[in-house]
Structure 1
Amino acid sequence: MSTIDDLFDVSNLVTTEEREWQLKAREFAQTKIAPIIDRDFEDRRLPVELVSEVGEQGFFGMYMNGYGLAGASSVAYGLVAMEFEAVDSGFRTMLSVQGSLAMGAIYKFGSEEQKQTWLPKMGKGQAVGCFGLTEPQGGSDPNTMITTARRDGDEWVLNGKKRWIGLGTIADVAVIWAKDEEGVVRGFVVPTDTPGYAAQAIENKLSMRASLQTEITLTDLRLPADAVMPNGQGLSAPFKCLNEARYGIAWGVMGAARNCLEVVVERVQTRETFGEPIGAKQLVQGKLADCFVEYEKGLLLAHYLGSLKDAGKLHHNQISVGKLNNVREAIKIASTCRALLGGDGITSDFPVMRHMANLESVRTYEGTDEVHQLILGRALTGLAAF
């Protein structure tokens, strides 16, 4: 157990079962992901061979009930997300895209047939899903959606583009959001072998390089009438899925922050300047203390959100507090740790620069800082400033 864990013992906050989930995720992340992550980050490659192993461990959709899923608590899921992101944000993103967005949409809004068809396989990692909401022109404003769904007899015909869609090129099923002829947003369950579906990886990323983001093109894609999710109408539906992902982010980024702190605490005890370890310097200890305080506050906030979620009392405004605060503070912690490592901090000898780059993506997706500021501003004033 690390010094960080010793100083802030998370086991005192959680149940035995939740702690077991965390430790299982930590072992998986440290033994399966950590040994290859630097290579795959450099090679711009998601280790897809691990997807089925994640499913075998029961991590996908683990807080859902039925369909062969674990039915664990939201706190347990948050701890798993934290352990995955302690190794790399990109791999936690894969967990989120599959388990919170794609599976979450089908679980919340799909028909019983859609659930029975996809959730057991996705939970086991035997099928991969993606979530097609964001569009090239839309970004943070999905109301500008131009992807269309037109009725043609007993079929739906979809046309449009989606961008920054995780797992789109390897997905077996895509949850696609489109506007019908009345302007109503609807969700569709789309097998990706349907003619008219095409996905291309976005290759020129300087962040999330061991992750897979894509652009999806839908060209006269025909679906049967029962492909529409019966309970997924209006923008509130995809936003509910986004809130699940945002919740996981509040936990996950604390894993990245913890890992940055772990490596720098070890380093400052062994690197010597001016005749003694730099960790003996007051300025260094002050920076470490400030970072640790923000890490502890962020983890306490994530746990509070998880407790509310498990009690059925979590509001989306509260999720925005977690996403905004924890990502912002994780970036500050990573930046401070990078500086404490000196020039070596920009090398792959340490994971900190990789975390810094990845966290800039996490800051942007599932709502930028500004979007969450406006959500909270609206909650405080009753006035929308979007």
Structure 2
Amino acid sequence: MKKDNFKSPDFYNIDTLFNEEQLLIRDTVREWVKENVSPIIEDCALSGDFPEDIVKKLAEIGGFGGFLPTNFGGSEIDLTSYGLMMQELERGDSSIRVLSSVQSLVMNTIYTLGSDAQKQKYLPKLASGELLGSFGMSEPNHGSDPSSMKSHYSKEKDCYIVNGSKMWIGHAPICDVAVVWAKNKSNKYAGFIVEKNTEGFSTAKIEKKWSFRASETGELIFQNMKVPKKNILTETDNIKILFDRLNIGRFGVAWGSLGIAMECYDVALRYSNERNQFGKSINSYQLIQNKLVKMITEITKSQILTWRLGTLMDNGDASFEQISLAKKVNVEMACKVAKISRSILGGMGITGEYPIMRHINNLEALVTYQGTDEIHTLIIGKKITGVSAIK
């Protein structure tokens, strides 16, 4: 793969909307990606190998749970800064953003719902990368509707017994600890912290993926799994608590997909400057300029949308419908931009010399990941009409 010479597109001076600390965090992660991700990621994606040594390196720059308090391993950064971090990590590769966002989701759940003892035991080790976390909500037949989950639990004398499985779970085959969800006969939902050596707990790896190639994805399996009572996070009949867990993940995908689009545009722009046909660089042809203008237009609109969402999140004013809109819009936009970029590169667009096809494959997963396009459409539709088209 060619050297990472990324230069961020900023047609509307979006950088002026961020404060000094936010820009510093973004630039630090950008350089970290250039040094640690770009040189290895194409080979990792081709071989399907997870770059394990990247975990501690990412922890060193605050890549895990950065928005949490410092006494629990966080850096107390704002959510816009966290979004910028996701943007830069996903520009490197979706698998690296997944590494950060899944770990951060596990940490945020324990921080929000856990006891002091649970926070002290798990959060510092998750923040340092000593422990790798996994978050289990989606199931083989119930992804976008957690209320229909089949994983179930019962309370015994000295533990909880959990049965069921979770599917399409990031880091499942290699996790040290997992936050998992189940439902009881009274339709109450419970979250549990499950350590890898827990009796009745096992994992399986999903093979032959075309997306997230450098990430370990798999299944969490519970067969009369015995979870100590001290490891329950919460028990509630309020489904909103489960949906609230998803907001930070969808927020990260909105920023991350923007990072992919920015990368694809930058690669296409640079290639069009260097590639010559019929005696001149192809950037001088009207058809190529039309494609580049379409790309920068869509990116600029998404940059403004995503910055605004970050501001709303920092102020505590963002609704889950607004997060859904940003996730849906930015993933759609990135898919369009990536395919235009691939067309500008011609035959070179399908090679490992450039990151375009790797990003296109990853985007296919992002269309479904953290809620399908259709589910987000229905969430937004209910908000603007007041009528649910789901149930």
With normalisation by structure 2, the TM-score equals: 0.95
- Deviation of the 1:106 alpha carbon: 0.8
In angstroms, what is the RMSD of aligned CA positions?
1.4
* Mapped contact 2:11–2:300 kept (Cα < 8 A): no
Q: Does 1:195 align with 2:167?
A: no
* Mapped contact 2:11–2:296 kept (Cα < 8 A): no
- Deviation of the 1:2 alpha carbon: 5.2
* Mapped contact 2:151–2:163 kept (Cα < 8 A): yes
| Residue equivalent to 1:89 | 94
* Mapped contact 2:6–2:263 kept (Cα < 8 A): no
* Mapped contact 2:163–2:224 kept (Cα < 8 A): yes
| AA partner of residue 100 (structure 2) | L
Q: Does 1:318 align with 2:356?
A: no
What is the CA deviation profile of residues 242-297 of structure 1, one whole-angstrom value per residue up to 9, with x for unaligned ones?
11000011111111111111111011112122222111011111110111111111
Q: Does 1:271 align with 2:275?
A: yes
Within 5 Å, give how 1:227-306 maps onto structure 2.
227-230=231-234, 234-306=238-310
User: Which segment drifts farther, 235-244 or 298-307?
Assistant: 235-244
* Mapped contact 1:58–1:123 kept (Cα < 8 A): yes
* Mapped contact 1:110–1:232 kept (Cα < 8 A): no
- Deviation of the 1:345 alpha carbon: 0.7
* Mapped contact 1:63–1:72 kept (Cα < 8 A): yes
Query: What SS is found at the alignment partner of 1:230?
Result: strand
| Residue equivalent to 2:43 | 39
- Deviation of the 1:232 alpha carbon: 6.0
Task: Assess, with a 3 A threshold, how the Cα gap between structure 1 residues 109 and 166 changes in structure 2: closer, same or farther.
Answer: same
| Residue equivalent to 1:179 | 183
* Mapped contact 1:109–1:232 kept (Cα < 8 A): no
User: Which segment drifts farther, 165-174 or 320-329?
Assistant: 165-174
Distance (whole Å) between structure 1 residues aligned to residue 254 and residue 177 of structure 2 = 27
Distance (whole Å) between structure 2 residues aligned to residue 270 and residue 62 of structure 1 = 39
| Residue equivalent to 1:327 | 331
Task: Assess, with a 3 A threshold, how the Cα gap between structure 1 residues 18 and 232 changes in structure 2: closer, same or farther.
Answer: farther
* Mapped contact 1:188–1:227 kept (Cα < 8 A): yes
With normalisation by structure 1, the TM-score equals: 0.97
Distance (whole Å) between structure 2 residues aligned to residue 183 and residue 204 of structure 1 = 36
Structure 1 vs Structure 2: percent identity of aligned residues?
Answer: 37
The runs of 5 or more residues in structure 2 that have no matched partner are none
| AA partner of residue 298 (structure 2) | E
| Residue equivalent to 1:53 | 57
* Mapped contact 1:187–1:233 kept (Cα < 8 A): no
- Deviation of the 1:236 alpha carbon: 1.7
* Mapped contact 1:143–1:235 kept (Cα < 8 A): yes
Within 5 Å, give how 1:94-105 maps onto structure 2.
94-99=99-104, 101-105=105-109
Task: Assess, with a 3 A threshold, how the Cα gap between structure 1 residues 233 and 116 changes in structure 2: closer, same or farther.
Answer: farther
Match of 2:33 among 29, 32, 56: 29
- Deviation of the 1:7 alpha carbon: 3.7
Distance (whole Å) between structure 1 residues aligned to residue 94 and residue 237 of structure 2 = 31
What is the CA deviation profile of residues 160-213 of structure 1, one whole-angstrom value per residue up to 9, with x for unaligned ones?
111001011221111010012312111011111112111111111011101111
Q: Does 1:339 align with 2:340?
A: no
Q: Does 1:385 align with 2:384?
A: no
* Mapped contact 2:192–2:234 kept (Cα < 8 A): no
Q: Does 1:15 align with 2:19?
A: yes
Distance (whole Å) between structure 2 residues aligned to residue 6 and residue 119 of structure 1 = 36
* Mapped contact 1:4–1:261 kept (Cα < 8 A): no
- Deviation of the 1:62 alpha carbon: 0.6
* Mapped contact 1:202–1:214 kept (Cα < 8 A): yes
Distance (whole Å) between structure 1 residues aligned to residue 236 and residue 24 of structure 2 = 34
- Deviation of the 1:320 alpha carbon: 0.8
- Deviation of the 1:9 alpha carbon: 4.2
* Mapped contact 2:9–2:296 kept (Cα < 8 A): no
What is the CA deviation profile of residues 3-56 of structure 1, one whole-angstrom value per residue up to 9, with x for unaligned ones?
544645443121111111111111111100111000000111111211111112
Match of 1:71 among 71, 76, 81: 76
| AA partner of residue 80 (structure 1) | M
* Mapped contact 2:159–2:226 kept (Cα < 8 A): yes
| AA partner of residue 45 (structure 2) | F
Distance (whole Å) between structure 2 residues aligned to residue 316 and residue 143 of structure 1 = 17
| AA partner of residue 209 (structure 2) | K
Query: What SS is found at the alignment partner of 1:174?
Result: strand
| AA partner of residue 251 (structure 1) | W
